[in-house]
A and B are shown apart, each in its own frame.
With several copies, the nearest count.
Chain A
Amino acid sequence: MALVLNEDEVMLRDTAEGFFAEKAPVKALRTLRDTNDETGFDRALWSEMADMGFAGIAIGEDHGGVDMGFQAAGLLAEQMGKNLTASPFLSTAILAATALREAGSDAQKSEWLPKIASGETVMAVALDEGPKHNPAGIETTAEKSGNGFKLNGAKAMVVDGHVADQLIVAAKTDDGLAFFLVDPKAKGVEIERTIMVDAHNAARIDLNDVEVDGDALIGETNAEDALHKMLAAGRGIVAAELLGAGSEAFRSTVEYIKERKQFGVPVGSFQALQHRSSHLYSELEIARSAVLGALTALDAGDENANRYCSMAKAKLGEVAKLAALEGVQMHGGVGMTDEYDIGLFLKRVRVLQELLGDAAYHQNDYAKANKF
C-alpha cells in the first residue's frame, strides 16, 4: 500500500497548498458568511479549480477528467479543510461524480461527467432525511408512473442543495435503492437553504409528487453497490478534510501557545499543555495513516476499501474533534471570540464529523460488519 506519497502526489499537494492558501483562505469564508453570500461559495474559484483539474480529479480521462484517484482527491480535501474553503468539491466532484461513474449508463456518463469536470454543472446528492446519517433508513419513494417515476419524500443536510444545477436523489423503488436525476426547478421540488453553524452550504429538499422521465434513473433500480462506493468515497474525502481542519487547528494552537505569555512565560512551556499537545500530535499522525490507508485502498480496488473508509471516518471524527476542542481551550479567552479562527474550525469540524456518519455511527457499523 502506498502510504508514502509519490512524486506526482507530492507535486499535487504542493500545488494545492499554494492554491487554496492564496485563493480561498479562511478570510474568504468569513467574507462569504458576513456578506450573506447567496451562493455560499465563489463561483469563480470553482471555475479555477476546474481549470486546475480538481473538479475532474475522480473522473476518467475519456470524460474530461484527470482521473488521479481518491488519494489525490484527499490531498485536495485536506488543503480545503486547512483553509475552511467553501466549494462544491465534495457534493459535485466526489459524491455526484462517483454516483454517476459507478451507476450511470454510458449516455448519462457522457452527458454529465464532462460538465462536472469542466465546472459547468454543480450537482448535489440528496441522501439523508432525518437528523442523523442513516442510508439504510431512506424513506423517499420512487413509484413507477407512466414511462417514468414519481418521487415523494423529504431530504435534509443536502450539501450545496440550494445552488445545484442538478440534483441526484436517492429513493426506494420496488427493486431497491436507486439514484434519480432531478431538476431542482421541477414541479413539486421545494428547496430551503439552511444556514449552518459552519457557514457552509446545506439545504432541506421536499419532494412532492415530483415526476421524472425514465432516463432520470441513473443506471438500474438496484444501485446498492454504487451507493456504497459513493459513501466510501465521500467518507474518505470528508475524513481527509477533517484531517486538514484538525491538523491546522492543532498547528495554529501550538503556534499560539508558543507566543502567548502568562505568569511571565509562554503558556506552551507548561508541561501539562505540552503532554496534551504531544498526545494530540500522536493522534493526528495515527489519523493521517487512517486516511491514507483508506483512500489508497479505494484506489486499489481493495475488497475492504469501503470498510476502511468507514473506519477512517470514525477515527477522524474523533481526532479532529479533539483537536478543535483542545485548540479552543488552549487559546483561552480569545478562543471564544469570533475574531480568532479557532472557533471556525470547531464549527466546521462539528459539521464534517456529522456528515456521512459520525464516529459513533461508524464504530457501530464496524461492530456490525465484524459480527459483534
Chain B
Amino acid sequence: MTDMNLDEFRTEVRGWLAENCPEEMRTPVEGDQDVCWGGRNFEFQSEAQKVWLERMAAKGWTVPTWPTEYGGAGLSRAEEKVLLSEMRKINARSPLTSFGIWMLGPALLKFGNDEQKAEHLPKIARGEIRWCQGYSEPNAGSDLASLATKAEDKGDHWIVNGQKVWTSYADKADWIFCLVRTDNTKGKHYGISFVLFDMETPGVEARPIKLISGRSPFCETFFEDVKVPKENLVGEENKGWTIAKYLLTHEREGIGAAAPMRPIHEVAAMSLGLDESDRLADPMLRTKIAEAEIDDWAFGLTMARKLAESKAGQSMGADSSMLKYYGTELNKRKFELMMDAAGHDGLEWESERSRDGKLARSWLRTKANSIEGGTSEIQLNIISKHILELPGA
C-alpha cells in the first residue's frame, strides 16, 4: 500500500469518525465502569456506548485487521495504525474490549479450524460473546505446565473436572478457553489440550475472589463433570501447550503496555505546589518523578521499536518478556510515585472526594501487574535462558 492510499484512507476515517463517534465516547475512560466488554449479559452504561459499539462493529473496526468474513475489516497494519491514530486524536474510546479480541481471536485465526473461526470470531467482533481464560490453577502459579484439571475421554466428548484460579471476570463471561490435561503419562508439557466451552454448561461455577483493592476482577472457577464436545478442541489433542505459549506472549505484550495516564509531575505539582524557584516543593520526590518519566518515555520508544522490528520480520521472541517485565515494574513504580504525590488525599478509601479511593485502588491493582501473565521472576528467567543463554537457566 502506498502512502497516497494511506492518506486517502486517513481522510475517510476522519470523516467517518467525526460523524459517527458519539460525543460521550470522546471522554477519558475513568474506570472499569466505562469499559465496554460486551457479552450476553452486558449492561451498556449508556445509549452512546451501545451505538458506538454497533457502528464500529458494522464497519469491522472492532477488530480491524481480521478478515471481513469473520467480522473484521481486513485492514493492513499500516491502515490499522491510521485508524487508531485518528481515534486517539478525538479521544475516542475503544468500542469494545475483550479477551476474545485480544487473546482468543489471534489464537483461533492461527490454530482454529474453519468451523471454529466461523462460529466464534464474528460473535467476538460484534461483542455478543464475552470470553474468559482458564489457565492458572491453585498451587501452580507461574508453573503453568503442571496443571491438573483433568479431561476424561468419553468418545465424542470429554468430562472435565478440576479447578482454575485467577480467571479474569469468569463470573461475567459467557464462554471460556481453557487448558485441560488429556494425557498425564508423559512430560509436563505434553498432554495439555486447548478447549472451548460455554460457562452455562452444567457443573461450571465461578466464585469471585476479593482482592486487596477491594475489587473482584478474578474468580476461582470450579468444574464438576463438565461435558465438553470434542469439536470444541482447538488444534491437536495433547498439543495445547503450543497455543498456550502463543497466547502468553500476546498477554505479556498487552500487560506491558500500560494505559496512558496523566503525567505524575502534574499531579505532584497540584498536590504539593512549587517553591520560590518554581520547583516542586518536595525536591526528593521531584528527583524520582523525573527519573520515572524519562524511563517512561524510553520504554514507550522501546515498545514502538520492538513492534517495528517484529513488523520488519525480526521475531520478538523472548523480548516480549523484557517488555512485560519492564513495563509492569515501571507501572508499579509510577503508581507508588502517584501515591507519594497525592499524599493524605490518596489514602482515602471511601469518600466522594477520592471517588471511592480511585487512586488507591488503582495503585493496589498495579501490584498484580508483575504477577499475572507470568511473574517478573519468570520473565527474568526467560530472558536469562532464551536471550542471554546463561547455563542452567
Contacts and interface: CB of A to CB of B under 8 A. Distances in A.
25 contacts: A131-B345, A157-B344, A198-B347, A199-B349, A257-B390, A263-B143, A269-B390, A269-B391, A271-B393, A273-B390, A281-B383, A281-B388, A286-B299, A293-B298, A314-B291, A314-B294, A325-B332, A333-B372, A337-B212, A358-B340, A360-B340, A363-B284, A364-B290, A372-B266, A372-B279
Most chain B beta-carbon contacts within 10 A, residue among A194, A197, A261: A197
A214 interface: no
A23 interface: no
B393 A4 contact: no
Interface stretch (A72-80, A183-191, A342-350): A342-350
A346 B380 contact: no
Interface string B262-302: 01011011011010001110111111111101110111011
A288 B326 CA distance: 14
B7 interface: no
Interface of B: 136, 139-143, 146, 165-166, 209-212, 214, 218, 263, 265-266, 268-269, 271-272, 274, 278-280, 282-291, 293-295, 297-299, 301-302, 304-305, 308-309, 312, 319, 322, 325-326, 332, 336, 339-340, 342-351, 357, 360, 364, 367-368, 370-372, 375-377, 379-381, 383-384, 387-393
A35 interface: no
Contact of A131 (B211, B214, B343): B343
A236 to B, nearest CB: 13
A333 B136 contact: yes
A208 interface: no
A287 to B, nearest CB: 7
Q: What is the predominant secondary structure among interface residues of chain B facing chain A?
A: helix
A133 B326 CA distance: 31
A361 interface: yes
Contacts of A275: 377, 380-381, 384
B294 A285 contact: no
Given A197-B347, A286-B302, A321-B336, 18 more contacts: A131-B342, A132-B272, A132-B343, A156-B345, A278-B388, A286-B299, A293-B298, A311-B294, A314-B294, A336-B367, A338-B211, A343-B212, A347-B364, A350-B347, A351-B347, A363-B291, A366-B290, A371-B269
Nearest to B304: A3
B358 to A, nearest CB: 12
A91 B209 CA distance: 35
A-B pairs, 7 with minimum CB distance: A343-B212, A360-B284, A131-B343, A269-B392, A278-B383, A289-B301, A274-B384
Nearest to A310: B294
A128 interface: yes
Nearest to B353: A194
Contact of A293 (B209, B293, B301, B390): B301
A285 B322 contact: yes
Contacts of A197: 347-349, 357, 360, 364
A268 interface: yes
A308 B301 CA distance: 11
A337 B211 contact: yes
Contact of B279 (A254, A293, A367): A367
**What is the size category of the interface that chain A forms with chain B?**
35 or more
Contacts of A318: 291
A289 B298 contact: yes
A197 B170 CA distance: 27
A147 interface: no
Nearest to A250: B388
Nearest to B348: A194
A198 B218 CA distance: 22
Contacts of A290: 294, 297-298, 301
A176 interface: no
A317 to B, nearest CB: 10
A317 B257 CA distance: 25
B350 A367 contact: no
A287 B301 CA distance: 10
Contact of A311 (B269, B298, B364): B298
Given A194-B351, A367-B280, A333 B166 contact: yes
A279 B380 CA distance: 7
